[in-house]
Structure 1
Amino acid sequence: MPDPATEVPPAGRRTGILGGSFDPPHMGHVSVARDLVEELRLDRLLVIPAGDPPHREVTLPAEVRLDLTRRAFADLPGIEVSPMEIERAGPSYTVDTLEALARRFPSDRLVLAIGADQLAAIHRWDRWRRIPELARIAVMPRRGREPAPSPESTPIEYVVANVTRVDISASRIRQRLEEGRSVHLLVPETIRHDVERAWAGRRARHVTQ
């Protein structure tokens, strides 16, 4: 797939952004991404694995997560995986990513997709007031509840993206992997064996340490 750093965009393209640690990528991510393309009428959706997430620890190395994410979303229409945060030094702040995309694609209309829990905590993000200046915010509800910004970030404008939320979490998958259990049907079959192999290697290293 073309890299966002080199692609020449058509004027007025509607570009969605879906970030995350993808540690590992799973079927919930794939389902949400597909729905976002349709729900938000996107010309393309950029899936962007974080290089150094500032608010959470990751298990798999950045290059491994990037490779798995690329393969998890391979050949899905309208969805591209970008390495831009992994290639950028330092913490992966959303505002920096949006500013970089705005510079590269000044004619694109950017739409940032976030979860309801992220909306509630957005006032803690780096330079968060700049984010709605760079992109329209689309919030994915959780368990049918209407998203609610925190008092600190009110009023912040956003639209609701009604996507199908699959009851799968990366933390649940990591727990199963740590227990040596299969993640069949939880991650795309194209990456399942490599995901299970990566955690088997981690468990073996821990035993010998």
Structure 2
Amino acid sequence: MSPPRAEDSAPGRRIGIFGGSFDPPHAGHATIAHDLVERLRLDRLLVVPAADPPHRSVVLPAAIRFELTRRLFDGSPRIEVSPLEIRRGGPSFTVDTLEELARRFPHDCLILTMGADQFATLDGWKDPQRLQALATIAVMPRGGREPVPPPAATPIDYVVVNVTRIDVSASGIRRCLDEGRPVHGLVPESIRQHVERAWADRSGRPVTQ
């Protein structure tokens, strides 16, 4: 799949950006992405797996995480999995991604989505003030609590978007896979065997049936 091009741009569209490590992608990611499309009234949601997340380590290689994420959203209207950060390589700084998207979609409204935990640490990101100059920041709260802004000297403007939360985490799935336990219900059936195979290939562990 090719990355989005400027010539694809239609004036005034609402384009969401949903980034993450997707290590591996799971049912929670799928639910959140579809909720974001509807609740932010998006014309397009770009799901952007990171090549090298600067604030966390990853287990599966970038190319595998991208392919699993692409399979997860295959056939989903208005959702596109973008290889932008993986093709760029190096540390995946969100501001660099937004700069590139702003050049490609100069007449559209970019909406950067993130969880409340990410938002609380935003002042530790690369050039956080530039982020809000490039995109509207939409924060997903947890547990019904209002997101807590980062303790930055300059306030960060944001909007709140409520999404369905499923009690699933990538770290929990990785523990299940490491222990040889099944991940039925945690990972959509459309990609479950692909996830289990990718983990087995990495660790040499037999695939759980």
Residue equivalent to 1:96: 96
Residue equivalent to 1:47: 47
Contact between 2:173 and 2:186, CA under 8 Å: does it hold in 1? yes
Residue equivalent to 1:120: 120
| 1:175 to 1:9, Cα distance in 2 relative to 1, 3 A | same
Tell me the CA shift for residue 196 of structure 1: 1.0
Residues 105-128 of structure 1, C-alpha deviation per residue, up to 9 Å, x if partnerless?
101100000000011000000011
| 1:201 to 1:153, Cα distance in 2 relative to 1, 3 A | farther
The answer to which of 131-140 and 190-199 deviates more is 190-199
Q: Secondary structure at the match of 1:151?
A: coil
Q: Structure 1-normalised TM-score?
A: 0.94
Residues in 2 aligned to 1:131 and 1:54: alpha-carbon distance in whole angstroms:
16
Residue equivalent to 1:27: 27
Contact between 2:51 and 2:86, CA under 8 Å: does it hold in 1? yes
Contact between 1:180 and 1:200, CA under 8 Å: does it hold in 2? no
Residue equivalent to 2:175: 175
Residues in 2 aligned to 1:22 and 1:16: alpha-carbon distance in whole angstroms:
17
Residue equivalent to 1:56: 56
Residues 107-164 of structure 1, C-alpha deviation per residue, up to 9 Å, x if partnerless?
1100000000011000000011100000000000011111011222652110000100
Unaligned runs of 5+ in 1: none
Counterpart amino acid of residue 147 in structure 2: P
Residues in 2 aligned to 1:134 and 1:193: alpha-carbon distance in whole angstroms:
38
Q: Percent identity among equivalent residues?
A: 64
Residues in 1 aligned to 2:203 and 2:136: alpha-carbon distance in whole angstroms:
42
Residues in 1 aligned to 2:31 and 2:23: alpha-carbon distance in whole angstroms:
16
Tell me the CA shift for residue 7 of structure 1: 5.2
| 1:159 to 1:117, Cα distance in 2 relative to 1, 3 A | same
Residues in 1 aligned to 2:128 and 2:178: alpha-carbon distance in whole angstroms:
35
Unaligned runs of 5+ in 2: none
Counterpart amino acid of residue 149 in structure 1: P
Contact between 1:13 and 1:43, CA under 8 Å: does it hold in 2? yes
Q: Secondary structure at the match of 2:204?
A: helix
Residue equivalent to 1:8: 8
Contact between 1:98 and 1:131, CA under 8 Å: does it hold in 2? yes
Counterpart amino acid of residue 186 in structure 1: L
The size of the alignment, in residue pairs, is: 205
Counterpart amino acid of residue 88 in structure 2: R
Residues in 2 aligned to 1:74 and 1:204: alpha-carbon distance in whole angstroms:
28
Residues in 2 aligned to 1:64 and 1:203: alpha-carbon distance in whole angstroms:
14
Residue equivalent to 1:160: 160
Equivalent residue runs for 1:128-143 within 5 Å: 128-143=128-143
Tell me the CA shift for residue 189 of structure 1: 1.1
Residues in 2 aligned to 1:34 and 1:105: alpha-carbon distance in whole angstroms:
22
Q: Secondary structure at the match of 1:46?
A: strand
Residues 12-69 of structure 1, C-alpha deviation per residue, up to 9 Å, x if partnerless?
1110000000000001000000000011010010000000111111110000000000
